[in-house]
Amino acid sequence: MLAVSLGVDERLFATPSERRMLRAIEQGLDEVETGLLGELAFGDTLADTTSRYLFEAGGKRVRPALALLTAQLGNGVTPEVVRAAQAVELTHLASLYHDDVMDEAVLRRGVASAHQVWGNSVAILTGDLLFARASVIIASLGSRALELQARTFERLVLGQLHETVGPSPTDDPVDHYVQVLADKTGSLITLAGLVGLIFSEASDAYYPAIAGFGERVGVAFQLVDDVIDITDASQTTGKAPGTDLRAGVPTMPLLLLQRDAASDETAAALVARIDATADEDDAAADPAERAKRDEAFLAAVAELRAHPATERTLAEARRWADAAIAALDPIPAGPIKRALAEFAERTVERDS
């Protein structure tokens, strides 16, 4: 199951004791999944349906897998680790409902986004319900976990806020965007790794390493997502190329292209074509005109995909992944350190 969740080769766990460790992680993932099904059950029929919607659409359970993996640096998969992993995944799931409303996303995990099915208000309230349920779980685990989750939630909100309003005139757009990624993605991956340590009673000496790893690998993960957004990967992602660009969500390839445009007429012309063809809101437009505009947009996205800005985005993702691996230096050599490093490496190799 680690192969599915984290892209980790399970042959890293080679000795009998390491195989037992792997089986404990896999059993823990089963317990997390079973527990999540229970947490997503509501007496209200609508809440029960909407809360399960994105969960049942799939997901790799990356964050619970990380929590269970880092727990092996302490006493292993305890009941508290399993509960904390459930809370982290519920927090992630809740954020998807809210993000899709903010980004006006049409699809999520290959199905219509929740707000497309039930409207914005129901989608937002479903996210609120899941945040509340995650908080109930965390509260049962003590004040340390509650403070950590609250600070992570604060960062999630700030990341979304800063993405929504964009950089100030004095901000560098690229630096601003990287901070958004750290807040929206890195913080939650960090939370997953830290609860695994905390509730397995692992050494405090490991906390800075796992925190540094989570922050950096989260940025790398999202930078690769930016590249996937402009690839023709609809069969694996369920999204058409350029979905984020059409929603007005800034992505690193476009930001780097815009930086190039200041001194490169070809880059400036491509930015202009993307801006002119990305808007889908003109419902009054003639269908033939809309089709022509869509074709022009996809052509511009293909050109962006082939532009050096996209390769530079991948290079930046690799740099963040390498920094994540370097952060693991204080972690003892063994299968856990190797698995975390491989997860970082696989992050920049994935296509969905």
List the chain domain ranges: 2-347
Other C-beta atoms closer than 10 Å to the C-beta of 272 total 12
Q: What is the pLDDT along the chain (352 residues), one digit of tens a residue?
A: 777 778 888 888 889 888 998 999 999 999 999 999 999 999 889 999 999 989 888 888 999 999 999 999 999 999 999 999 999 999 999 999 998 888 777 778 778 888 998 999 999 999 999 999 999 999 999 999 999 999 999 999 999 999 989 999 999 999 999 999 999 999 999 999 999 999 999 999 999 999 999 999 999 999 999 999 898 754 455 567 887 888 778 899 999 999 999 999 999 999 999 988 887 665 556 778 888 888 899 999 999 999 999 999 999 999 999 999 999 999 999 999 999 999 999 999 887 6
Question: Global pTM?
Answer: 0.91
Alpha helices (runs of H) in the chain, residue ranges in sequence order: 2-5, 16-39, 45-56, 62-70, 79-103, 114-118, 120-139, 143-165, 173-181, 187-198, 207-229, 234-237, 243-246, 252-261, 265-277, 287-306, 308-327, 335-347
Task: Given CATH 3.40.50.1010, say whether it is the number of domain 2-347.
Answer: no
| Interatomic CA distance for residues 98 and 127, integer angstroms | 6
List CB contacts of 301: < 8 A, sequence separation 6 or more.
Answer: 230, 241, 242, 245, 274
Give the DSSP per-residue string, 267-297.
Answer: HHHHHHHHHHH-----TTS-HHHHHHHHHHH
| Interatomic CA distance for residues 13 and 21, integer angstroms | 8
226 exposed, middle or buried (CB, 10 Å; 0-12, 13-18, 19+)? buried
| Interatomic CA distance for residues 264 and 284, integer angstroms | 35
List CB contacts of 352: < 8 A, sequence separation 6 or more.
Answer: 228, 233, 236, 237
